[in-house]
Amino acid sequence: MKFYNRENELSRLDKIVGEGAERVHLVVSTGRRRVGKTALIRHFAKDKDNFVYLFVSKKKPHLLLAEFSELLSEHIPNLKLATPNDFDALFSFIFAKMAETPLYVVIDEFQNFLQVDDSVFSVLQKHWDQNNAHCKGGIICIGSVQTLMRDIFEGMKEPLFGRVTDKISLKPLTVDVVAEILQDNGAGIGKDLLFFYSLFGGIPKYYDLLHRSKFFKKSQTEIIKRFFCEQDAVLQNEGRELLIEEFGKNYHLYFSILQTVACGVTQMSQIADKTGIDVNSISKYLDELVTKYGVLERRLPVTATSREHKNGRYHIADQLLKFWFRYIYKNQSLVAIGAEDRLAEKIVLDLPTFMGTGFETVIRDILTARNDGSVVPFIFDRIGGYWDRSGKVEIDVVATDDSKQHIFFGECKLNGNQFHADDAIRLKQKAQQVRWGAPDRKEFFALFSKDPVGARTRNALDKEGIRCIELTDLFGHLNTQSSDATVRHQGEKPVDRSNFLIENDTDE
């Protein structure tokens, strides 16, 4: 699969290399496994002969030193480097070369030195402090266990604290880039985007696996069976592989919480009840999952004015982990006995519910990327969902412009044809219960639908002041018509992009 996006990160690397002609950098690149950290560096360095790539395998130090010396010899002209006796000798050689000419040494899975030889951190600190003033190029440290990387480089008592000159934190690809990947592989936006994004999020490695297996055009059941349900399926143990090293010996406790949240239990007291963890203790674990590990996110109603708001809800931030804990970890008995057909059947039956909750997140992410007045008819200051403490008033998407007193309300449905005039009236009634802004605020309403919306539904909602926006309407920059096997009802008018939304004044 071709390399996608990462323009900002490539620009950062280009700047680092440009500065590296005069001085040396110590760069840290982090991000969850499979997000493309190594691929980014390799893509950037593919035409550069002064980059050396070293991978820290968990092996005996003398074996790793022999491997590194061989790789350095292959990449540095006219060099035959004898195997160093220790890492001090290795870094002494590297910094000596950097004093002569710009050299970039990429050290992948840097945190593995903790198991190989943790004196490496002090050794690197010593050579950095002694030599950085007259060296050129850079040491680029890549790590996937983010808690360990943070401890190594940000722990105030650690040797490498304060030495980093640049950081690159790699995030998943955006929904727009995933849409581009699907287009390039013959899949559709309206038909397929939500399914693929619900399972795989924006992680490039998973789409590369689909590309290599030629599975983009397979059915949802075939994809789920192949990658999750079959014996030895490539992603069947993905949650464990991503998180056990991060969590350490307490992983069972964290896994119980994550399974509970993935199954739709999002309030602290309910999570405590469901997991059997004392409510006075669970706040500590939830806070660690949010702030230390970044696996959970705590969401607040969009109108909340304080992070200490009592009405927070917890959600798994990573799409694949959300899927894995909801279906694979929860059904370990079926996995253990190899009941792949039964497991796939259970997943597919529940999938519309799972994708329905994910659709709200997708829409909010897309609107954030389009925050230029083209969809929401104003540039908003914040966007999110809204719910009250009773749980009786919930709105999928709310965006606000505090200065102009504009507020936008959106409902998300997989099939917009199931949203009728009565639902439109209820949406506007719920909007009146959102305590925000001045009495004369301006309100805007829209329905977002994954599937095409018929003319009858559109006309009914237009009368109620609610505009219908299909998922494909949000990707006008892509040729969605060629790959989506969807046809509008005969005689239906195309969406008027010049006036997406209908506005209502609350004082009318």
Count Cβ neighbours within 10 Å for each residue of 274-287 and write b for 16 or more, e otherwise.
ebebeeeebeebbe
pLDDT value at position 73? 87
Which tokens belong to 148? 């360990």
Q: Rg for the chain (alpha carbons), in Å? A: 26
Domain boundary residue, one of 337, 368, 384: 337
What's residue 500's pLDDT?
41
Of 154, 169, 184, which residue is a domain's last?
169
* Residue 378 and residue 314 share a domain: no
Domain final position from 169, 203, 224: 169
Q: What is the CATH number of the domain that holds 333?
A: 1.10.10
For residue 479, the model assigns a pLDDT of 56
pLDDT at residue 284 in the model: 94
Query: Cα–chain-centroid distance for residue 104?
Result: 28
Per the CB < 8 A criterion, the answer to whether 423 and 466 are in contact is: no
Same domain, yes or no, for 332 and 362?
Answer: no
- In the three-class reduction of DSSP (H, G, I as helix; E, B as strand; rest coil), residue 466 is classed as coil
Residue 381: inside a domain, yes or no?
A: yes
Per residue in 226-252, pLDDT tens?
A: 999 999 999 999 999 999 999 988 899
Using CB atoms within 10 A of its CB, is residue 448 exposed (0-12), middle (13-18) or buried (19+)?
A: buried
pLDDT at 497: 36
Whether residue 109 sits in one domain with residue 32: yes
Please tell me what DSSP assigns to residue 12. H
Question: Do 453 and 329 reside in the same domain of the chain?
Answer: no
* Beta partners for residue 316, in sequence order: 296
Residue 84 lies in a domain: yes
The confidence score (pLDDT) of residue 477 equals 67
Q: Return the pLDDT at 320.
A: 97
Nearest CA-CA partner of 172 in 317, 46, 278, 364: 317
**313/374 same-domain check:** no
**Total of domains in the chain:** 3
Answer yes or no: are the C-beta atoms of 27 and 167 closer than 8 Å: yes
pLDDT at 392: 87
* CA-angle at 245, arms to 225 and 202, nearest 5°: 50
**Do 235 and 320 form a contact (C-beta atoms < 8 A)?**
yes
Convert 66-80 into a string of H (helix), E (strand) and C (coil): HHHHHHHHHHCCCCC
Regarding whether 410 and 293 lie in a shared domain, the answer is no
Report yes or no on 397 lying in a domain. Answer: yes
93, 129: one domain = yes
Tell me, yes or no, whether 365 and 457 share the same domain: yes
Residue 21: which domain range? 7-169
Do the domain assignments include residue 73?
yes
Do residues 322 and 247 both lie within one domain? yes
189 lies in some domain: no
Does the residue 163 lie in any domain?
Answer: yes
Residue 437 is given by DSSP the state: S
Q: Are both 374 and 317 inside the same structural domain?
A: no
b/e burial code for range 326-336 (CB count within 10 A of at least 16 → b): bbbbbbeebbe
pLDDT at 478: 67
Residue 233 belongs to some domain of the structure: no
End-to-end Cα separation, the chain, in angstroms: 55
What stretches in the chain show pLDDT beneath 70? Answer: 77-79, 307-308, 477-508
The three-class DSSP label of residue 250 is helix
- CATH code assigned at 495: 3.40.1350
Report H helices in 433-472.
455-463
Q: Which residue has the tokens 């506007």?
A: 428
Do residues 146 and 246 lie in contact, with contact meaning Cβ atoms separated by under 8 Å?
yes
Q: How far apart are alpha carbons 147 and 63 in whole angstroms?
A: 27
Answer yes or no: do 150 and 59 share one domain.
Answer: yes
Cβ(330)–Cβ(274) below 8 Å: no
pLDDT digits (tens, 9 = 90+) for 259-279: 999 999 999 999 999 999 998
Domain membership of residue 222 (yes or no) is no
How far is it, in rounded angstroms, from Cα 455 to Cα 203? 37
pTM (two decimals)? 0.89
Q: What is the CATH number of the domain that holds 94?
A: 3.40.50.300
Q: Do 41 and 165 belong together in one domain?
A: yes
Strand 137-143 to strand 442-449: parallel, antiparallel, or no bridges (unpaired)? unpaired
